[in-house]
Amino acid sequence: MKKDTKYLNVTTPFTRRQFLATSTRAAVTAAVAGAVPRAGYTAEDNTIRVVLVGCGRRGTGAAAEALSTPGPTKLWAMADFFESRIQSSLALLQQQQQTGAYLYDAGIQNKVARMNQQKPGEVDVPPERQFVGLDAYKRAMDTVRKGDVVILATPPAFRPIHLEYAISKGLHVFMEKSFAVDSPGIRRILKCGEEAQRKNLKIAGGLMMRHYRPLELGVKKIQDGIIGEIITSWAYRMRGPVIDYYPFMRDPSWNELAYQVANYLGFTWLGGSFFADWMIHTIDICCWAKNDWPVSVQGMGGRQVSEDPNQLVDHYGAEYTFADGTRMVAQGRLIHRCWEFFGDQIHGTKGSALLFEGVEPPRIFKSYNQTSENQIWTFRGQRNNFYQDEHDLLFDAIRNDKPYNETERSAKANLTSIMGRMACESGQRITWDEAMKSNQELAPGLEAFTMESNPPVMPDANGRYPIAKPGTTQVV
């Protein structure tokens, strides 16, 4: 499919998850728009200032959604590694402010327009509040007040560093998935969540499918026993190469660090791997339905087809075990002309379920044979815009001082996907406790990096990057 680039600077790398064109924004109580926050959280005009750290497609989309929440909002400052991304993002958000429609290229669909139900918030980001570089996050957050909001949407390697600073500044946070790339990062995220709880700061995590109404109802029915006790789950993300949707780019002016940051999905130290960063959604849904997290995992993976200049492995398979002995299998593939599927299969003692973003609508069956005559439930109703709702819920909690902290479950879902990556890359069985206690950092000393630093992995003389080798790669 040819991309519509009218609203996209194609020389600039973006990251944006697919937006469902059929989604509509869920209604929010009218009281939210007029709610007055408690003292110290916003200025007298009740305007929440928003800082955007990471101005790619996902960050830009999150900012658009934050500005579309009930109540006055203002985009106040922006930060990114690349100045060009700030300008591209700002242009899109100004378009939303002027027209009431946020226009973007989703990479999978052509141009999508989402009309807001209210006038979007103000975009007020003059050049003096546009910050570039690895320390840009600090300078941007320093421009707002306690009780304002920061959106963290950089490559996930930076998430723990940025979250720590946000909490130290007394800011509420929307943090995009993934939340870390290794176990030390996960521990930092969890510690931030505890500190935010003590400070009464709100944190939302970008596992948006947790707020998708059809899935919420389907998972509740499973947890209520409609298919009996869960005995096996399968989490799938079988698709073509990442570069089909996010082409890798290299500008002659970039050094090696800039190249890898721009193409972070291809580098484990930045993105955590396809398994950890993209499989996290389907893995999280299976664990949500099970209402548990696994105690161990073993797996395999490799690079059989791809010759792209990155570290991406093109197929994964991981088998998780829960404390009760039941299993979950997670499979991912990035190869052309193969079977594609994005969803979850869940089998219980009395039936089965077919769930997730790539499955519309979710369905539940009285048998493992998923035929129409065996179907006992499907979602019938208005679908909500889960991207918008995750922001509506966060801002509602801020304005009405409600408890809101998704850190722990977000971090545990992330650790589950990280331990799967660890098992596949090493060929070893990895337990939850081993993964949680691991001290292996994929980018040691990241806080001290400058724009001129060499990244943790470098290409060889032929331009090839190191690939994980089961039986050799050490992960614990």
Region 177-183: mean pLDDT is 98
Reading phi first (left if > 0) and then psi (alpha if -120 to 50, else beta), residue 222 is in alpha
pLDDT tier at 102, thresholds 50, 70, 90: low
| Tokens found for residue 265 | 């999905």
31-210+386-405 belongs to CATH 3.30.360.10 = no
Which pLDDT belongs to residue 45?
A: 73
Q: pLDDT, tens digit, for every residue of 349-394? A: 999 999 987 788 999 999 999 999 999 999 999 899 999 999 999 9
∠ Cα 281 286 289 (to 5°): 120
Q: Report the percent of the chain where pLDDT is more than 90.
A: 80
pLDDT of 116 above 60: no
Q: pLDDT, tens digit, for every residue of 223-273? A: 999 999 999 999 999 999 988 878 888 899 999 999 999 999 999 999 999
CA distance 70 to 84: 30
Higher model confidence: residue 429 or residue 243? Answer: 429
> Rounded mean pLDDT of the chain?
88
CA distance 298 to 79: 39
Q: Is 256 exposed, middle or buried (0-12, 13-18, 19+ CB in 10 A)?
A: middle
Which pLDDT belongs to residue 118?
A: 59
Region 124-129: mean pLDDT is 98
Which pLDDT belongs to residue 99?
A: 83
Which pLDDT belongs to residue 247?
A: 82
When mean pLDDT is compared across 97-111, 187-201, 293-307, 320-334, the lowest value belongs to: 97-111
Residue 347 β-bridge partners: 232, 352
Which pLDDT belongs to residue 289?
A: 98
Which pLDDT belongs to residue 409?
A: 98
When mean pLDDT is compared across 18-22, 61-65, 170-174, 365-369, the lowest value belongs to: 18-22
Which pLDDT belongs to residue 476?
A: 85
CA distance 168 to 164: 6
Amino acid identity of 104? Y
pLDDT tier at 105, thresholds 50, 70, 90: very low
Q: pLDDT, tens digit, for every residue of 271-314? A: 999 999 999 999 999 999 999 999 999 999 999 999 889 999 99
Region 416-435: mean pLDDT is 98
Which pLDDT belongs to residue 250?
A: 87
pLDDT tier at 458, thresholds 50, 70, 90: very high
Which pLDDT belongs to residue 44?
A: 57
Which pLDDT belongs to residue 15?
A: 34
Q: For tokens 């995590």, name the residue.
A: 205
Question: What homologous superfamily is domain 213-382+415-432 in, according to CATH?
Answer: Dihydrodipicolinate Reductase; domain 2 (3.30.360.10)
Higher model confidence: residue 183 or residue 38? Answer: 183
Instruction: Please spell the DSSP secondary structure of 297-353, one letter per residue.
Output: EEEEEE-SS---SS---SEEEEEEE-TTS-EEEEEEEE-TTS--EEEEEEEESS-EE
**How many Å is the maximal CA-CA distance in the chain?**
63
Q: pLDDT, tens digit, for every residue of 64-87? A: 999 999 999 999 999 999 999 999
pLDDT of 315 above 80: yes
Domain regions of the chain by residue span: 31-210+386-405, 213-382+415-432
Which pLDDT belongs to residue 103?
A: 54
Region 404-411: mean pLDDT is 98
Sign of the CA dihedral with 260 first, then 264, 268, and 269 last: positive
